[in-house]
Amino acid sequence: MATARRTRLRPEERRNQLVALGVATLADRPLAEVTVEEIAAEAGVSTGLVYYYFGSKNGLHHEIVRRARDSMLHASEPQPELPPAERLSNTLSQLVTYVREHGPTFYSLVRGAASGDEEVRAVIEDARRQQTERALAVLLELGVPDTELLRIAVRSWVALAEQALVDGGINSDLAADELVGYLERSLGGVVAAVVPGAAEALLGASAHSAKA
């Protein structure tokens, strides 16, 4: 990146560039091993400048993991114009595409949950909370009754989805539609485990959307 050395950027552009370079390094190594020195070298700036923007290595790591989380949440953003079951199906399909294209970034998010750094873990936990809310919104719209057990079930399904995306999306060459179908139907199965009757609404609706 010889040209980067001579590029002058405005502060906000420089900050963005440094975080983007940090996210890109996740393809090669875990977040915990990303250093201020390598990011500075990649950008052709001094380590002092990186410290100026992020305060410390941890500060840099927090921004990298936030950016990675936001890219995953953005890529799987529900389409509000779709009816609930199709919206879920679309979200899961986008998520599988994202994981297939950005495996290391997604994996770094999952492994970030295993960080010793409390703020990194909080960023990941927030992503899980948002994905739980998205799935819950679909179910409530379909008329599934909102109970404590339902919330526990949906949160536990998000843990299932994360593991299935690592095992099936990154560590195997399973067909994308098989994986999407599994994620979709497993949520149906989890709801059926909580409210036998109400689940058929989701399963019926999602079978319909699969045919459409």
In angstroms, give the least distance from the CB of 166 to a second copy: 9
**Residue whose CB is less far from a second copy, 130 or 186:** 186
Q: Is residue 109 within 8 Å of 161, Cβ to Cβ?
A: no
Taking CB under 8 A as the criterion, the residue among 57, 66, 100, 185 binding a second copy is: 185
Q: Candidates 53-61, 66-74, 99-107, 173-181 — which segment interacts with a second copy by CB under 8 A? A: 173-181
| Measured distance CA(186)–CA(23) in Å, rounded | 31
One-character DSSP codes across 65-118: HHHHHHHHHHHT---TTS-HHHHHHHHHHHHHHHHHHSHHHHHHHHHHTT-S-H
Cα–Cα distance for residue pair 201/131, rounded to 1 Å: 21
Q: Does 56 bind a second copy (CB under 8 A)?
A: no
Asked if residue 115 binds a second copy (CB under 8 A), the reply is: yes
d(CA 91, CA 79): 8
In the list 1, 27, 122, 152, the residue contacting a second copy (rule: CB under 8 A) is 152
Q: Quote the least distance from Cβ 89 to a second copy, whole Å.
A: 13
Which of left, alpha, beta for 55 (phi over 0: left; psi -120 to 50: alpha)?
left
Q: In angstroms, give the least distance from the CB of 154 to a second copy.
A: 10
Binding stretches for a second copy (CB under 8 A): 32, 113-116, 121, 148-149, 152-153, 155-164, 167-168, 172, 174, 178, 181-182, 184-186, 188-194
